[in-house]
C-alpha cells in the first residue's frame, strides 16, 4: 500500500508541475491550451538527451530548456503578435504530437539508466513540488512581482499605467510555465515511467489544464487537486489493489477522465462561479494592446 501511495504522489507531482506553470501563465492573462504538447516535447527531449549522454541531469536540463523555448514561442505568438491564444496552443500541441512521434521513434523502449533514489520512500520530485507550491504562492501573493503578475492578468491597462510592463511580465510567466511543463514531461519520461512510446502522455497535459480551473488559481488548492488525481490515476492503473476482479482494466483506465468532466461542470456552474470562481483572471486569454 505504501508503494501505491508513493507512486501516486509521484504521479501527482507531474500533474502539479505542469499545472503550477500553467497557473502562473494564466494569472498573467495568458492561456496555453497546448500544455500537453509542451510536456510531450519536454519529456521526449529529456529522454533523448539522457539516453544519448547517459546523464539524467542533462536529460532534465534538455526537458526544461525545450519546455521554456516552446513557452517562449507561445508568448511570441500571443503577446507580441497578439494572436489567438487557442490557435497557438493547439498548434503547439499538434506540432509536438507529430514531431515527437518522429523524433522519439528511434528511442522507443526503456531508458536503461538507473532509477532516481527516493527520499524516505518518497519521490524527491514530490518534495520539490511542495517547495514550488510554497514558492509560487509566496511570490504571487506576498511580493510586488506577484502583484504585477496578477494585475497583468486582471487589468493590463491599469497595470501598464502604474508602470508595469505587461509584455515583460507575461513573457516571464509563459517561459516559467513552459519550463515547468518541460519539467513535468521530463519527470514522467525519466523517472515516473522511463520507457519511451509515442504519445506517451495520453491526456496528462489536458488533465493538468483542467486542474488549473479546478484550483481556482490558488496553488494550495492545486496541490490538493493534483494529489487527488495522482492517487486516482495510480488506482486506475492498479485497481486490483482496492477492488480485485471488479470490472475490466480498460474500464478503470477511463475513470480519471470520466471524473474530470463532472468536476469541470461543477466548477463552471453559476453558483460556484459566483461564490468561488472570482479568482479567475479577468483578462485571461485576451491579448493586450497598449493604449
Partner 1 sequence: MKLARYELTLQPRAAPGPMYAVLTAVVAIVLALALSSFLFRSAEDGLFSAYRAVFSYAFFTPRGIVATIQRSIYLLLCTYAFLVPLRAGLWNIGLPGQVFAGALAAFTVPFVTEALPPGILIVLMVAAAAVGGAVVGGFAGFLRARFQVNEILVTMMLNSIFFWAVAYMIKEGGPFMGATAEGEGFSLPPSLQAPMLLGVPFTAALALAAAVLLDLLFTKTALGYRIRAFGESPPAARYGGIVPLNVSLVVFLLGGAFAGLAAYHNFAAIPGVYKIPGNYGFYGDLAFYGIITALIARGSAVGAVPIAILFAGLSLGARFAQGLLRLTFGVDYALLGLLMMTFVASHILYQFRIVWRRVPAAVVQPVPTGLPGG
What is the C-alpha separation between 239 and 248, in angstroms, rounded?
9
Which listed range, 2-10, 95-103, 133-141, 143-151, lies at the site for partner 1 (CB under 8 A)?
A: 95-103
Residues 101-140 that bind partner 1 (CB under 8 A): 101-103, 105-106
Is 269 a binding residue for partner 1 by CB under 8 A? The answer is: yes
Instruction: Please list the residues that pair with 196 across neighbouring strands.
Output: 109
Q: Write the Ramachandran bin of 155: left for phi over 0, alpha for psi from -120 to 50, otherwise beta.
A: beta
Pairing of the two strands 109-110 and 195-196: antiparallel
User: Distance of CA 186 to CAs 4, 25, 138, 265, Å?
Assistant: 21, 20, 25, 31
Query: Looking at beta carbons only, is 123 or 193 nearer to partner 1?
Result: 193
Query: Looking at beta carbons only, is 125 or 239 nearer to partner 1?
Result: 239
Residue 19 CA, distance from chain mean position: 4
Residues 45-74 that bind partner 1 (CB under 8 A): none
The CB-of-7 to partner 1 minimum distance in angstroms stands at 20
User: Which residue shows C-alpha cell 528511442?
Assistant: 107
Which 8-state DSSP code applies to residue 105? G
Q: Tell me the per-residue interface mask from 239 to 268 with partner 1, x by CB under 8 A, - otherwise.
A: ---------x-xx-xx--xx-xx--xx--x
Interface with partner 1 (CB under 8 A): 33, 77, 81, 83-84, 86-88, 90-91, 94-99, 101-103, 105-106, 198-199, 202-203, 206-207, 209-210, 213, 248, 250-251, 253-254, 257-258, 260-261, 264-265, 268-269
Amino acid at each position: 500500500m505504501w508503494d501505491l501511495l508513493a507512486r501516486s504522489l509521484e504521479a501527482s507531482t507531474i500533474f502539479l508541475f505542469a499545472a503550477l506553470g500553467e497557473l502562473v501563465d494564466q494569472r498573467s492573462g495568458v492561456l496555453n491550451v497546448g500544455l500537453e504538447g509542451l510536456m510531450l516535447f519536454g519529456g521526449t527531449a529529456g529522454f533523448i538527451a539522457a539516453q544519448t549522454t547517459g546523464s539524467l541531469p542533462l536529460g532534465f536540463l534538455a526537458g526544461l530548456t525545450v519546455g521554456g523555448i516552446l513557452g517562449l514561442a507561445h508568448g511570441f505568438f500571443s503577446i507580441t503578435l497578439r494572436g489567438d491564444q487557442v490557435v497557438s496552443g493547439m498548434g503547439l500541441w499538434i506540432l509536438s504530437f507529430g514531431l515527437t512521434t518522429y523524433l522519439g521513434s528511434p528511442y522507443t523502449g526503456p531508458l536503461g539508466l538507473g532509477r532516481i533514489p527516493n527520499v524516505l520512500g518518497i519521490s524527491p520530485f514530490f518534495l520539490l513540488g511542495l517547495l514550488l507550491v510554497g514558492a509560487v504562492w509566496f511570490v504571487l501573493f506576498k511580493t510586488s512581482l506577484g502583484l504585477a503578475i496578477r494585475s497583468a492578468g486582471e487589468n493590463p491597462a491599469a497595470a501598464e499605467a502604474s508602470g508595469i510592463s505587461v509584455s515583460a511580465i507575461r513573457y516571464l510567466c509563459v517561459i516559467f510555465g513552459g519550463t515547468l511543463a518541460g519539467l513535468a514531461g521530463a519527470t514522467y519520461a525519466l523517472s515516473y515511467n522511463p520507457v519511451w512510446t509515442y504519445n506517451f502522455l495520453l491526456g496528462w497535459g489536458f488533465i493538468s489544464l483542467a486542474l488549473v480551473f479546478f484550483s481556482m488559481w490558488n496553488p494550495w488548492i492545486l496541490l490538493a487537486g493534483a494529489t487527488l488525481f495522482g492517487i486516482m490515476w495510480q488506482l486506475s492503473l492498479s485497481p486490483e489493489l482496492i477492488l480485485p476482479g471488479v470490472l475490466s482494466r480498460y474500464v478503470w483506465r477511463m475513470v480519471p477522465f470520466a471524473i474530470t468532466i463532472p468536476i469541470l461542470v461543477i466548477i463552471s456552474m453559476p453558483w460556484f462561479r459566483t461564490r468561488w470562481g472570482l479568482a479567475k483572471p479577468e483578462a485571461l486569454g485576451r491579448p493586450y494592446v497598449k493604449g
